[in-house]
């Protein structure tokens, strides 16, 4: 893991870009991490939005200001990484199908082609990154996950180091990953926008029901995909505090 | 309003029983209320459980320890008040119907007979109590409501002094009150136990959808009727802080 840039924010949070082989990433750490290791939260946006996407960066800095290391990467085909022809084709098909008013099951078929491979390609790189991050002296052994639901399911059922997850119910989850939800057993905070455009509410509620976690909480708020109220960041902070700091 | 008993708890909360005409009630106030008025939260248990029910008392003391006045009453036919023959008959019918494995629509019919009059009789007494409480020097003009959903709908659509409500989705809500939900427009925290026995989940989700509030949040947790996790009391406290203290 090579750090290639470093920026200190006014609130003491240190923001560093890194590369790990071909993987570009960003790590945010609070000032307190220089005295003692802090828990880590892996932060991924639905469907592999770029690691410098402003809302993701804002959330990561907020998490770091709460005493966590926060990390994100550009997974294969995402952000600055070389694009995948298959994913580009699927995205073009999706746009065309939406403009044509295609039925939901046709859209779902395209989403399967798009999101399935994104998750399959992203998961091993996130775990490689996790290995490297856990070797840093600033980072302790408590690990949480935040954001992209489909990837979060895959990581949590694969890697027992991930101890708690806050998932955003606003992205397509491939059928195969929905079937894995029963094996997802860590504490879960599931965040739903009640009127999320294009993300069927009932499917999200069914997924919440399917998770195997004994402790799971659903927070639903009125509004569309990007309308999550600010107080949910505070609620998420307390969720991680309960599971990663106590 | 006559205070008939007074008890000071270790955390400074003052617990006083009162009578207001025929209405018996309890008021909890934090020590801070003796220096400056504090916001008030009206606390009612689903279907008029008695005001000294231990879980209600524990919640009220918790709310008072967070800097609120908390008040509850025994409404007509509830707690120490003279029982209603019609309500007793409905409760007996309900037990018999449940033991006989009666279909859901038959149970609903009995619930209508039971809960409808409970709310109609309780609402004016809660408002009378609110008038009297707001005359106390310890109580400011910000008012919230907590608990019994059916009564909360009726009070909130009737009285604009109620500025925010945390409702528990674990009781039967008569059809007429469900129809009023669209006129319920204050900030709402709606608390659902995902596996609440005898309270259909879909009906609770439909009711959440129906509320007219622009700011409404659903919190759902795994488990049965009385399994609400302790952290929801903290979340509710912050919900009231946002709307009644800021």
* pLDDT over 90 at B150, yes or no: yes
Distance, CA of B153 to CA of B149 (rounded, Å):
6
**With an 8 Å Cβ cutoff, are B220 and A231 in contact?**
no
Chain A closest CA to B180's CA: distance in Å?
19
**With an 8 Å Cβ cutoff, are A194 and B219 in contact?**
no
Domains and their CATH numbers in chain B: 2-84+118-245 (3.40.50.1820)
* pLDDT over 90 at B99, yes or no: yes
Residues of chain A contacting residue B234, judged by C-beta atoms under 8 Å apart: 238
DSSP 3-state of A7: strand
Length of chain B: 246
Distance, CA of B54 to CA of B45 (rounded, Å):
11
The per-residue pLDDT for B46 is 82
- Most distant CA atoms of chain A, gap in Å: 57
DSSP string of B99-111? HTT--HHHHHHHH
The per-residue pLDDT for A47 is 79
* pLDDT over 90 at A22, yes or no: yes
* pLDDT over 90 at B161, yes or no: yes
Residues of chain A contacting residue B209, judged by C-beta atoms under 8 Å apart: 194
* pLDDT over 90 at B198, yes or no: no
**With an 8 Å Cβ cutoff, are A229 and B235 in contact?**
no
Could you give the C-alpha distances from B180 to A140, B24, B48, B217, in angstroms and in order? 52, 28, 20, 18
Instruction: Give the closest residue to A89 by CA, choosing from A114, A52, A119, A56.
Output: A114
According to DSSP, the residues that pair with B28 across neighbouring strands are: B15, B70
DSSP letter assigned to residue A175 = H
Span B102-142, pLDDT tens digits = 999 999 999 999 999 999 999 999 999 999 999 999 999 99
Single pTM value for the model: 0.92
* pLDDT over 90 at B47, yes or no: no
Q: Which helix (H) or strand (E) holds B120?
A: helix B104-134
Closest-approach residue (CA) in chain A for B241: A231
Span A140-169, pLDDT tens digits = 999 999 999 999 999 999 999 999 999 999
DSSP 3-state of B132: helix
Residues of chain A contacting residue B242, judged by C-beta atoms under 8 Å apart: 231
Distance, CA of B122 to CA of B153 (rounded, Å):
12
Phi–psi pair at A4, nearest 5 degrees: -115, -10
Q: Which helix (H) or strand (E) holds B87?
A: helix B85-99
Distance, CA of A23 to CA of A45 (rounded, Å):
16
Cβ neighbors of A72 (< 8 A, separation 6 or more) are A25, A26, A42, A43, A44, A45, A51, A56, A60
| ipTM of the complex, rounded to two decimals | 0.87
Residues of chain B contacting residue A218, judged by C-beta atoms under 8 Å apart: 194, 218-221
Substitution target from B218, B232, B234 for chain A, most A beta carbons within 10 A: B218
Chain B closest CA to A87's CA: distance in Å?
35
Distance, CA of A22 to CA of A43 (rounded, Å):
19
Beta carbons within 10 angstroms of residue B189's beta carbon? 25
Q: Which helix (H) or strand (E) holds A20?
A: strand A14-20
Over residues A204-224, mean pLDDT = 97
Contact by Cβ (8 Å): B28, B69: yes
Among A194, A209, A217, select the one facing B219 at the smallest CB separation. Answer: A217
Q: What is the mean pLDDT of chain A?
A: 95
Distance, CA of A243 to CA of A187 (rounded, Å):
8
Residues of chain A contacting residue B238, judged by C-beta atoms under 8 Å apart: 231, 234
Chain B closest CA to A169's CA: distance in Å?
14
- What angle is formed at CA B12 by the lines to CA B8 and CA B13, rounded to 5 degrees? 65
Residues of chain A contacting residue B194, judged by C-beta atoms under 8 Å apart: 208-209, 218
According to DSSP, the residues that pair with B139 across neighbouring strands are: B38
Q: How many CB pairs under 8 A join A and B?
A: 47
Contact by Cβ (8 Å): B20, B129: yes
Residues of chain A contacting residue B207, judged by C-beta atoms under 8 Å apart: none
Write out the residues of chain A at the interface with chain B, using a CB-CB cutoff of 8 A. Answer: 194, 205, 208-209, 213-222, 229, 231, 234-235, 238, 242
Among B205, B219, B222, select the one facing A214 at the smallest CB separation. Answer: B222
The answer to whether the Cα torsion of A179, A182, A186, A189 is positive or negative is positive
3-class SS shares of chain A: helix, strand, coil, % to 5: 45, 25, 30
**Beta strand segments in chain B, E:** 2-8, 14-20, 23-29, 38-44, 69-73, 139-148, 162-168, 188-193, 216-221
Beta carbons within 10 angstroms of residue A96's beta carbon? 11
Write out the residues of chain B at the interface with chain A, using a CB-CB cutoff of 8 A. Answer: 194, 205, 208-209, 213-222, 229, 231, 234-235, 238, 242
Distance, CA of B116 to CA of B156 (rounded, Å):
16
Beta carbons within 10 angstroms of residue A162's beta carbon? 23
CA A34 to chain CA centroid, Å, is: 25
């Amino acid at each position: 893991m090579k750090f290639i840039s470093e920026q200190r924010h006014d609130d003491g949070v240190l923001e560093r870009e890194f590369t790990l082989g071909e993987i570009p990433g960003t790590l945010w750490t609070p000032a307190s991490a220089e005295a003692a290791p802090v828990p880590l939260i892996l932060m991924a946006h639905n469907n592999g939005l770029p690691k410098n996407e402003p809302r993701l960066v804002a959330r990561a800095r907020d998490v770091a200001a709460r005493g966590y290391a926060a990390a994100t990467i550009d997974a294969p085909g995402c952000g600055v990484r070389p694009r995948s022809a298959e994913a580009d084709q699927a995205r073009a098909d999706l746009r065309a199908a939406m403009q044509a008013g295609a039925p939901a099951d046709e859209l779902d078929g395209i989403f399967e082609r798009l999101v399935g491979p994104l998750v399959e390609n992203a998961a091993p790189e996130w775990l490689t990154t996790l290995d490297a991050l856990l070797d840093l002296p600033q980072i302790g052994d408590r690990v949480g996950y935040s954001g992209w639901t489909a990837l979060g399911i895959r990581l949590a059922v694969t890697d027992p180091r991930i101890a708690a997850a806050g998932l955003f119910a606003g992205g397509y989850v491939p059928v195969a990953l929905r079937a894995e939800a029963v094996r997802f057993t860590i504490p879960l905070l599931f965040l739903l926008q009640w009127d999320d455009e294009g993300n069927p509410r009932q499917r999200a509620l069914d997924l919440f029901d399917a998770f195997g976690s004994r402790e799971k909480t659903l927070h639903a708020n009125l509004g569309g995909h990007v309308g999550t109220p600010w107080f949910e960041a505070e609620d998420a902070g307390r969720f991680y505090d309960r599971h990663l700091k106590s």
